[in-house]
Structure 1
Amino acid sequence: MDLSRRIARSRPLATADLHGRVDAMKLRGENVIDFSIAISHFPAPPAVLDAVRDGLRQPSPYTAVAGDPQIRARLAAKATRDNRIPATAAEILITNGAKQALYQALYAMADPGDRVIIFKPHWPAYVATCRLLELEPVLLDLPEQFTDAVLDGLPPARVLIINKPHNPTGKLLNEAELDRIAAWLRRTGTRAIVDESYEKLIFDGAHLSLAARADWQALGIVTLFSTSQSYAMMGWRAAFAVAPAHLVTAMETVQGPITAAAPMLMQQAMAAAFDSGAPEAMLADYRQRRDLVIDLLRNVPWIRAHSPASGPYLWMDVSRLGVDTVEFSERLLSQSGVAVMAGDALGAPGHIRIGYICDDVDTLRRGVRAIISCGNQLFQDA
């Protein structure tokens, strides 16, 4: 059967592909420590489980494609309360995960051939989605700081994608940087998609939203929120977008024939999660794990890793090994049974990304020590 030109030139996400390989290995009975993706060992918050129990006792209707009106109002209140985004229910779209929101936002905001600026290292879905939609991803290095000079040096583009807190580096943006980005959007007419999926996983500093300004609608800012990492709800596929009302309508037009509304139980669960406050116990656990791994790596001569300000990943520069990072990750998986994501998939060869929040602490230690042992052997042989 012939394939369309669009799909024939597309490739599966490297992150999803590796995670699928690891799952297949586990099904065969192989012992694998999976650092390739961040899957929390925490359950969903009690408020979420209570909301689902209550929801199971009620009728579960189809809702409007954009979501149940009352739940959209609760999520608008969350955006106003937590993120200082003055949003209304008409500016909320509930989706089956952040990837769906990203796809629909890009579909509604750009036409084939339009440029989309993406900073690397990047979440692979940004590039893959652009290519599916026949947009032109423009990959640029994530700057140390967003200055006026950096912003004025960006090429013309239809859309700018900002990921904050950043996957995989954990970088946060301060208020001055956000003000400069907003001013640049005004000057250039560029629109922005801001992925704030890790907003609750802040160890140091504070999370600030780019859309926390009176003219966010005029600037054309779409903000994505997700419970996946912020509330340990990876498999729930619960997310929403805050966007100008006309863009919500356009994104709803895309969503209608694909999935229609997200499941009502998921909508109820997501609203309960965001109403439950900050996940303090989970964050404290993650902070201890982050510090443990950084301490284990402290005297390893071929790894450069900083303690991230946020997020469920650690980003490591392993370029001193002098080997291809894809080959290193394959050797680590085959010889040591530890899966890590090579930075090549995120636009940054010479690096690896590890998700450090799954399994127990002893498993985390064993996995990190296996990485060190494998790299030490290569470093000594170099």
Structure 2
Amino acid sequence: MDISRRIARSRPLATTAMHGRVDAMKARGEDVIDFSIAISHFQAPAPVLDAVREGLRLPSLPYTSVAGDADIRARLAAKVINDNRIPASSAEILVTNGCKQALYQALYVLADPGDAVIIFKPHWPAYVATCKLLELQPVLLDLPDEFTDAVLESLPPARILILNNPHNPTGAVCREAELDRIAAWLKRHGAHAIVDESYEKLIFDGVHVSLAARPDWRELGIVTLFSASQSYAMMGWRAGFAVAPAHVVAAMETLQGPITAAAPMLIQLALAAAVESDDPTAMLDNYRQRRDLVLGLVREVPWMTMRCPASGPYLWADITRLTMDSVGFSERLLSEHAVAVMPGDALGVPGHIRIGYISDDVATLRRGVQAIIAFGNGW
């Protein structure tokens, strides 16, 4: 049977493909350490579990409007007002089945085939893959150390700029002055911004500020994406939402209707409970200790450079002094040492690897990192 031209030239996401390979190995009984993805060893917050239990006691869990239950949207609007200083109404909230759906729908309604979309590398692979599915033109640029006026004015014309803040995989967090410059650039050039703030709660150093935390965010055309996956250790719940001007939300709702309709009501209840729960202090403290453990283990490794990330569940390692073939490095590491990492090629930057350090126990984390070091020393 023939398949469409659009999908025939597409490939599965490298991140999900690697995780799938590891799952298949584990299913065969193989002992594999999976650093290719970040799956928290923490459980979802207690208020989330309580909300689900209470939801299961309701007489029914109804269909909701495609954009989400009215009360849930109001609660999410209160969250972004109080936490993110985004002056949004419930009409500017769209509940989605995870952040990927919100990204797809935002790109679909803001751009037409052939439009340019600026993406900074290293990047979350879904940004590029989604652009290609929609026949948009991803423009890949190096993530700058700082968004200065000079950096911004050097950017090519584009319909949309995608900003990941906090950033996956480097852990960089934009300062407020940088966001002011980006907002000014958007205004001068008439471009839109899609801002992925999925890691907003995983901040070790500095302060997270939303690009849309300004009175003119609607005029600037800023769409902000949120996810419960990492910030609330809810990876398998597929709970996310978008904040966008009301007419953009309406357009995204029109698209979502025939695809999935509303997110499940039980997940909506869980999402609202998550964003209303306390900040994940214990989880963040644990992640910081793990981050520092890995940094200590690799500090004297001559062929690896790993900066201390200000946020996030990943460590980004430069192995160019050893090899530019990070795909080959990752493949051999998996086959010879049963340790999975994500090659930087998947995120647009060869010669690097990404390590998710929040899964399993600390002993397994240490064993896996030591295996990486031993493998590289013998490369």
Equivalent position SS for 2:316: strand
Equivalent position SS for 1:197: coil
Q: CA–CA distance in 1 between the matches of 2:148 and 2:210? A: 18
Match of 1:5 in 2: 5
1:35-184 paired onto structure 2 within 5 Å: 35-58=35-58, 59-184=60-185
Give 2:257's aligned amino acid.
Answer: G
Measured after TM superposition, the shift of residue 3 of structure 1 is 1.1
Q: CA–CA distance in 2 between the matches of 1:272 and 1:322? A: 46
Give 2:15's aligned amino acid.
Answer: T
Measured after TM superposition, the shift of residue 183 of structure 1 is 0.3
Unaligned runs of 5+ in 1: none
Q: CA–CA distance in 1 between the matches of 2:174 and 2:326? A: 28
Equivalent position SS for 1:281: helix
Q: CA–CA distance in 2 between the matches of 1:290 and 1:340? A: 16
Match of 2:253 in 1: 252
Measured after TM superposition, the shift of residue 29 of structure 1 is 0.4
Match of 1:221 in 2: 222
Measured after TM superposition, the shift of residue 323 of structure 1 is 4.8
Is 91-100 or 321-330 further displaced after alignment?
321-330
Residue 24 of structure 2 is aligned to residue 24 of structure 1: yes
TM-score (norm 2): 0.99
Q: CA–CA distance in 2 between the matches of 1:345 and 1:175? A: 29
Q: CA–CA distance in 2 between the matches of 1:188 and 1:278? A: 37
Q: CA–CA distance in 2 between the matches of 1:68 and 1:2? A: 39
Measured after TM superposition, the shift of residue 259 of structure 1 is 0.3
Q: CA–CA distance in 2 between the matches of 1:234 and 1:145? A: 30
Give 1:140's aligned amino acid.
Answer: L
Give 2:55's aligned amino acid.
Answer: G
Matched length = 378
Runs (4+) off by over 6 Å:
none
Residue 188 of structure 2 is aligned to residue 207 of structure 1: no
Is 101-110 or 315-324 further displaced after alignment?
315-324
Q: CA–CA distance in 2 between the matches of 1:182 and 1:323? A: 36
Measured after TM superposition, the shift of residue 266 of structure 1 is 0.2
Unaligned runs of 5+ in 2: none
Q: CA–CA distance in 2 between the matches of 1:265 and 1:279? A: 22
Measured after TM superposition, the shift of residue 84 of structure 1 is 0.2
Q: CA–CA distance in 1 between the matches of 2:366 and 2:150? A: 43
Match of 1:286 in 2: 287
Match of 1:361 in 2: 362
- Deviation string 1:97-137 (CA, Å, 9 cap, x unpaired) is 00000000000000000000000000000000000000000
Q: CA–CA distance in 2 between the matches of 1:48 and 1:175? A: 31
Give 1:308's aligned amino acid.
Answer: P
Equivalent position SS for 1:40: coil
Measured after TM superposition, the shift of residue 277 of structure 1 is 2.1
Q: CA–CA distance in 2 between the matches of 1:57 and 1:112? A: 46
CA RMSD of aligned residues (A): 0.5
Measured after TM superposition, the shift of residue 56 of structure 1 is 0.3
TM-score (norm 1): 0.99
Q: CA–CA distance in 2 between the matches of 1:250 and 1:97? A: 18
Give 1:320's aligned amino acid.
Answer: R
Equivalent position SS for 2:378: helix
1:191-340 paired onto structure 2 within 5 Å: 191-340=192-341
- Deviation string 1:206-261 (CA, Å, 9 cap, x unpaired) is 00000000000010000000000000000000000000000000000110000000
Equivalent position SS for 2:213: coil
Q: CA–CA distance in 1 between the matches of 2:351 and 2:155? A: 25
Measured after TM superposition, the shift of residue 322 of structure 1 is 2.5
User: Is the 2:324–2:350 contact (alpha carbons within 8 Å) kept by the matching residues of 1?
Assistant: no
Q: CA–CA distance in 2 between the matches of 1:130 and 1:253? A: 19
Give 1:262's aligned amino acid.
Answer: A
- Deviation string 1:266-300 (CA, Å, 9 cap, x unpaired) is 00000000000210000000000000000000100
User: Is the 2:343–2:350 contact (alpha carbons within 8 Å) kept by the matching residues of 1?
Assistant: yes
Is 166-175 or 318-327 further displaced after alignment?
318-327
Q: CA–CA distance in 2 between the matches of 1:153 and 1:245? A: 32
Give 1:156's aligned amino acid.
Answer: P
Q: CA–CA distance in 2 between the matches of 1:324 and 1:184? A: 36
Measured after TM superposition, the shift of residue 144 of structure 1 is 0.8
Q: CA–CA distance in 1 between the matches of 2:150 and 2:350? A: 26
Q: CA–CA distance in 2 between the matches of 1:333 and 1:133? A: 33
Q: CA–CA distance in 1 between the matches of 2:219 and 2:366? A: 49
- Deviation string 1:23-56 (CA, Å, 9 cap, x unpaired) is 0000000000000000000000000000000000
Give 2:43's aligned amino acid.
Answer: P
* Identical-pair percentage: 76
Q: CA–CA distance in 2 between the matches of 1:211 and 1:48? A: 27
Match of 1:33 in 2: 33
Match of 2:374 in 1: 373
User: Is the 2:290–2:362 contact (alpha carbons within 8 Å) kept by the matching residues of 1?
Assistant: yes
Q: CA–CA distance in 1 between the matches of 2:118 and 2:107? A: 12
- Deviation string 1:354-377 (CA, Å, 9 cap, x unpaired) is 000000000000000000000000
Equivalent position SS for 1:372: helix
